[in-house]
Structure 1
Amino acid sequence: MSTLPTVLVFGGSGLTGASIVAALLEREEFEVKVPVRPSSINKPSTIELQKKGATILPFDIASSSSDVLQEFVSGADTIICAIVFTQLSLQYKLIDAAKSAGVERFVPCDFGTPGRRGVRKLHDQKLDVREYVKASGIGYTFIDVGFWYQLHLMYTDVKKAYVPWLYEASRYVYNGGVVKTAYTDLADIGKFVARIVTDPRTLNQYVFAWGEEITQQDLLKYAQKYGNPNVEIFPKSTTDLESLIAEAKEKKLGTLAYWDYHYSMWVLGENTVEMAKLPELGGALDTRELYPDMEVRPLEDYAIEFYR
């Protein structure tokens, strides 16, 4: 029987979750368990986690009663949530169960960019969860990571765009493109989290992890250097972006979250370590100060791979 502390990672088969699970297993300091819906047990992503050493547990949080959920999380030292953003509300009953079961540390599903209330609906939902966590009295750590390298380089090849409209939208440059924003490589997210959840300094704290702070002008330089030297950009103003947000709200378009992020990052400049440290944004601890020995992947390194 393992004597290592147990970490339950909900959403462990997703992109963020898989990065976290891999890093936890690599440190060999934890027994890592990943609840997975029974219908997803045989998916390649689940099988890959099992091969790496994670214990896969068939479990559906959405259909579980409070008593069943409390029994399920009993014995866990730490719970990390990396669930899909459409299921954030499931965390409320998970927090109650974790508190009743004596879980020592709860990490809700954040892993995004810092910011004020009233700018992004999704971020407001995450802030609501944080308030509930604090009110519950359970030990916690809130973790933001800026924006992923993997999601924000400018597309110079339409075939690489996740969806067609991103091919052009990725090259919208706001107000000259000189505002800084923080980025982290997906693999480094897991490495940061694995350090954070064993650090007593981060208990009951908000933590900001980041790799680099760059501007849209920097993104353009990488696109020109490694993608297409004649890449076309589309200059936009704050008013242009506000119009896109208003249209998305009126027509209930799925692009709203994307434009909200752009407004927060490129207009308000909220996604920086300096902003995250402000008391009104949470008073974050800086992982680059907590772990000065940690090496992060440079964005340019990823850009070379991306454009190749």
Structure 2
Amino acid sequence: MSSYKSFAVIGAGAIGLPIAGALAVAKDVSVVLLSRPGSSAKTVPSSVKVVQVDYNDAAAVAAVFKEHKVDVVLSTITTAASAAQKSLVDAAKLAAVKLFVPSEYGLPTEGYNDGPMGEKNQIAAYLKSSGIPSTRIFVGLFTEYIPWLVDYSNGGKIKVVGNSEAPLSFTSVPDIAGFVAYVLTNLPSSELEDRILRLEGDRSSFNGIATQFKTSIEHVDSITGEAGEIKTSLQRKMNVGAGSTGWDAVKNAEGTGSNAAGSANALWPGHQWKSIKEVHNL
């Protein structure tokens, strides 16, 4: 049984709000949601306390953690701001937080040194050097974001940069939020501290996605339009196998055992993970 009773969720975005909501329905726990000063008001369960604070002010953030006797910090800030997590780690250390769940929720980042994925891996190293136990959670791509990634709304085809056969991991937002809440409120700390948890709600290739969406593949040199650079970069990483949550960037191969894609699914026994077809009503 978990010993964690108080949680602080950092960020009220696409994954932060669902995680805060999933934690809020757990028994005998408290949840505080931290957002940046001036951010728009969010609709949250009445039991969730919302506090606006400058993430870069470690002392101010630590004061919030101490006030709410926070056991676990869950960072969900965006990839573009992932470097800002260092001040959150400093705040967690000042407040003697028991566990830190850094902002991963994407492709595996272990073994990377450069770019946004390298920054996330560096945060994991910083947590270790700070003496704070951590849990990293790799989910692949949010299943809901498939149309966004392949520019589906622009022509109704699956636009692919390079390899359309590489295996890809997808996990839906409700499944991610539910899993996070379940393991943090049910598992003992020994099963969570300094662990990497690899989820996979469904597995497919771009070819398989095209089949499910009843459309065709369009091979392109890059994805254009809004966030085109980000989509292109993601697809290029996926081309080599990094789209699987079991990917080992050091060995350039799929992991096995506890390092395999979806190996952490078993930590939520009896749960039925949402498929691509279910999420998109195909």
TM-score under structure 2 length normalisation = 0.83
Query: Cα 1:119–1:170, aligned 2, differ >3 Å: closer, same or farther?
Result: farther
Conserved 8 A contact 1:142-1:207: yes
Query: Cα 1:209–1:117, aligned 2, differ >3 Å: closer, same or farther?
Result: same
Conserved 8 A contact 1:110-1:126: yes
Query: Cα 1:4–1:184, aligned 2, differ >3 Å: closer, same or farther?
Result: closer
1:70 to 51, 62, 70: 62
Q: How far does the alpha carbon of each residue in 1:46-94 deviate from its partner, in whole angstroms, 9 at most, with x for none?
A: 1x2144x3111122223x3x33232222221000000122221221111
1:1-308 map, 5 Å: 5-11=5-11, 13-40=12-39, 43=41, 46=42, 48-51=43-46, 53-62=47-56, 64=57, 66-74=58-66, 75-115=69-109, 117=111, 121-153=115-147, 161=153, 170-172=158-160, 174-175=162-163, 177-198=164-185, 199=187, 200=189, 201-224=191-214, 231-235=215-219, 240=221, 244=222, 254-265=227-238, 267-275=239-247, 284=259, 286-304=263-281
Deviation at 1:29, TM superposition (A): 4.1
1:227 is matched with none
**Could you tell which deviates more after superposition, 214-223 or 100-109?**
214-223
Kindly report structure 1 stretches of 4+ aligned residues shifted beyond 6 Å: 277-283
Structure 1 alignment gaps of length 5 or more: 225-230
C-alpha distance in 2, partners of 1:169/1:137?
A: 48
Query: Cα 1:67–1:153, aligned 2, differ >3 Å: closer, same or farther?
Result: closer
The aligned amino acid for 2:219 is P
C-alpha distance in 2, partners of 1:193/1:277?
A: 24
C-alpha distance in 2, partners of 1:203/1:185?
A: 24
The aligned amino acid for 1:233 is I
Conserved 8 A contact 1:70-1:100: yes
How many residue pairs get matched?
269
The aligned amino acid for 2:15 is T
Deviation at 1:26, TM superposition (A): 2.3
Query: Cα 1:56–1:292, aligned 2, differ >3 Å: closer, same or farther?
Result: same
C-alpha distance in 1, partners of 2:183/2:248?
A: 16
Q: Secondary structure at the match of 1:19?
A: helix
Conserved 8 A contact 2:158-2:216: no
Deviation at 1:276, TM superposition (A): 5.5
Query: Cα 1:296–1:276, aligned 2, differ >3 Å: closer, same or farther?
Result: farther
Query: Cα 1:6–1:204, aligned 2, differ >3 Å: closer, same or farther?
Result: same
C-alpha distance in 2, partners of 1:110/1:196?
A: 16
Conserved 8 A contact 2:113-2:119: no
- CA RMSD in angstroms, aligned pairs only: 3.2
Conserved 8 A contact 2:111-2:249: no
Query: Cα 1:294–1:232, aligned 2, differ >3 Å: closer, same or farther?
Result: closer
1:228 is matched with none
Conserved 8 A contact 1:155-1:223: no
Query: Cα 1:274–1:182, aligned 2, differ >3 Å: closer, same or farther?
Result: same
TM-score under structure 1 length normalisation = 0.76
C-alpha distance in 2, partners of 1:9/1:58?
A: 12
Query: Cα 1:288–1:116, aligned 2, differ >3 Å: closer, same or farther?
Result: closer
Q: Secondary structure at the match of 2:44?
A: helix
C-alpha distance in 2, partners of 1:125/1:93?
A: 14
Larger helix proportion of the pair: 1
C-alpha distance in 1, partners of 2:242/2:71?
A: 33
C-alpha distance in 2, partners of 1:260/1:207?
A: 24
Query: Cα 1:284–1:19, aligned 2, differ >3 Å: closer, same or farther?
Result: farther
Structure 2 alignment gaps of length 5 or more: none
Q: Secondary structure at the match of 2:38?
A: helix
